[in-house]
Homo-oligomer: A and B are copies of this chain.
């Protein structure tokens, strides 16, 4: 298990493993031309240390979709938990046994279990891609994901009513008295891990499904860590509930509605038999719009790649800066204000021993000024929780989304490459002209899906960043106003001479 953790940590930056090269080198992940080695971010401040992560491209990482799951893989809910990594009792965790293998390794074995005809054509190694692009007739799936053309271009269809799922500690009896009706689940970490895996497997090439919050607990701050993880799990759950495609999916609805272990097991088996996963998710989509041409498709895909990569850099930069600032605001800075406060009070104490008459007003005022600086120390130390925290969490969440894009873009790029190579295949009669026609239509569907998801992403992004920066500025302004007020109050105590 230790080994698995290490790998997951090395491959922390999904961007480092994403191959933007032209060759469809799908069956091994040797990135030769990744963004990690050729930084092109807007910020231009990418850490050169990321070059070292290039080697990690050979490993999988938790967010990388690795092929459809084996339908008979029945021990998913037993072997995902690493009891060493955490004990978040607030979710009513059952302790489960640690499996021999890390979850990350499962992707390939599942792909193998599907017994897909790998390597039938060179460059068609990625499981599912050939199945989707070259199927004479796509099986009509039960679930359909409509894509309409709205004011901003292709978009998902948003459900008329939305719902939320509250993550709370049942031990603490946190009843949602404000809500008219709610269902209380006894959810375990295993349930969430299973849901994440299912969503990743099913939607991961069309929709960014961010990893669940990290389970690792460092001893000292365990309580704070657990609180933060619960907050992040809540945020993750809210994102899923608000996603028009994810929230309406059968697997998600089933997750929300099971009431006991029996229903859970039944639903789990059913979901794991779902073959509309991986690239096949695009077979459920029917854009109400004419096919796009290949030049436009490729341009749009590249634009998404550039944008998400640049935003990833920007978000990471802000996180780095914010983390530094957090440390200063909670560490040395308040200590210094404390010292200023103490030094003023000490001085006033000395002054009071002078034996000189009529300076008690001054000494009282200096003492109060000293106490004011001690109060300022507390204000400074507590402030990040009130503003920087939310700015950081929002960026952290977006870092999670953005980390999913290398895989998404790789799928799109891969499909585009297949179409480009298809003329040769037609010429050598490996595929028919009709096959090629189908391929173009299906890549066009993928492009619509990408645009629909990007429009969803952008509208959320604009709302989220507007909200969180407003909150940050408002809280910061209040913070400085409070300090100024306290200082004026301290000032008013000084005698005018």
Q: Which residues of A contact B (CB under 8 A)?
A: 41-43, 45, 152, 303, 306-307, 310-311, 313-315, 317-318, 321-322, 324-325, 328, 332-333, 336, 339-340, 343-344, 346-347, 349-351, 353-359, 362, 365-366, 369, 454-455, 458-459, 461-463, 465-467, 469-470, 473-474, 476-478, 480-481, 483-484, 487-488, 490-491, 494-495, 497
Contact = CB atoms under 8 A, between A and B. Distances in A.
Given A333-B333, A340-B325, A369 B473 contact: yes
A362 B324 contact: no
Contacts of A484: 477-478, 480-481, 484
A38 to B, nearest CB: 17
A480 B477 contact: no
Contacts of A343: 43, 314, 317-318, 321-322
Given A307-B350, A473-B490, A481-B484, 4 more contacts: A321-B339, A362-B465, A366-B469, A473-B487
Q: Which 7 A-B pairs have the closest CB atoms?
A: A480-B484, A43-B346, A356-B458, A477-B487, A473-B491, A314-B347, A318-B343
A339 B321 CA distance: 6
A497 B462 CA distance: 10
29 contacts: A41-B350, A42-B349, A42-B353, A43-B343, A310-B350, A310-B353, A311-B350, A314-B343, A314-B346, A317-B343, A318-B343, A328-B336, A351-B465, A354-B458, A356-B455, A356-B459, A358-B462, A362-B462, A362-B466, A366-B465, A369-B469, A369-B473, A473-B490, A476-B487, A477-B484, A477-B488, A478-B484, A480-B481, A480-B487
Q: SS class of chain A's interface: helix, strand, loop or mixed? A: helix
Nearest to A487: B477
Given A307-B354, A356-B458, A474-B491, A467 B497 contact: yes
| Listed residue (A152, A315, A321) with the most chain B CB atoms within 10 angstroms of its CB | A321
Contacts of A346: 42-43, 45, 314, 317-318
Assembly of this chain: how many copies?
2
Contacts of A455: 356
